[in-house]
Amino acid sequence: MSCLVAILAAGKGTRMKSDLPKVLHEASGRPLLDSVLDLGESVASAEHIVVVVGHRAERVEDHVRARGVLTALQEPQLGTGDALRVALEAAPDGDTVLVLSGDVPLLRKTTLDRLLDCVATDAEAALLTAILTEPGAYGRVVRGPDRGVVAIIEAKDADAETLALREVNAGVYAFRRRSLEQALASLKPDNAQGEYYLTDVIQWLTRRSLPVAATVLDDPEEMQGVNTREDLHRVEQVLARRAKAAES
């Protein structure tokens, strides 16, 4: 199965308090987006990678042009589900779709391989999850009596019982493209943010008894995203530690 990698990189990154697009902020001397592009190129060729741009789109497009990847403009920005729809419209090829975020640079290739293996066998979709002591604002993973994934509920839309769950969505997915396109076409912005949530695709699949797998991260550190300067500092510390370990 051919793989298409969609990298979501359209957000404003307001909490970074900078004019620079969030994905171009540097950690250990490299823009966050470069590390994510490296991950994408570990599983797909450049012509099968599409970067979804939005805020200061021209700046991000200029940055990635030399790498030969596709770009797709999301304007207006109506949520992650809409961003992925824009990506698929720009990229006609790819039976399997791997979804990454441009501000999550710590994932390992072995983790992506585990995720892709799920949809290469019997799952229609697969997502990365983590078990956290303090789940905070992460979307909660709801499982059924058989421990299969039933839904992902965003924290802003969750009731108290759901917020008590400790398994969270890491925001990294693999899908079989055909069912993904059908699900995206059915999405509605029926939530507190008025956006098209990519997480609603999971519920669309499970309601049709299509299998959804969940791969739990051994190291939740891999899912660290960057929304603030403090997050960026944490990512830099991890990268420095990894570099030191590789030298020893």
Q: Which residues are catalytic?
A: 15
Half-sphere exposure of 111 (CA within 13 A, CB side): 24
Dihedral angle at the C-alpha atoms of 122, 131, 137, 133, nearest 10 degrees? Answer: 170
Task: Return d(Cα 230, Cα 130) in angstroms, integer.
Answer: 21
**In this structure, what are the phi and psi dihedrals at residue 123, rounded to the nearest 5 degrees?**
-90, 145
Q: Nearest 5°: phi and psi at 180? A: -60, -45
Would you put residue 226 in left (φ > 0), alpha (ψ -120 to 50) or beta? beta
Whole-angstrom distance, CA of residue 19 vs CA of residue 4: 30
- Judge whether 101 and 8 are in contact, CB under 8 Å: yes
Task: Answer left, alpha or beta for residue 195, where phi above 0 means left and psi between -120 and 50 means alpha.
Answer: beta
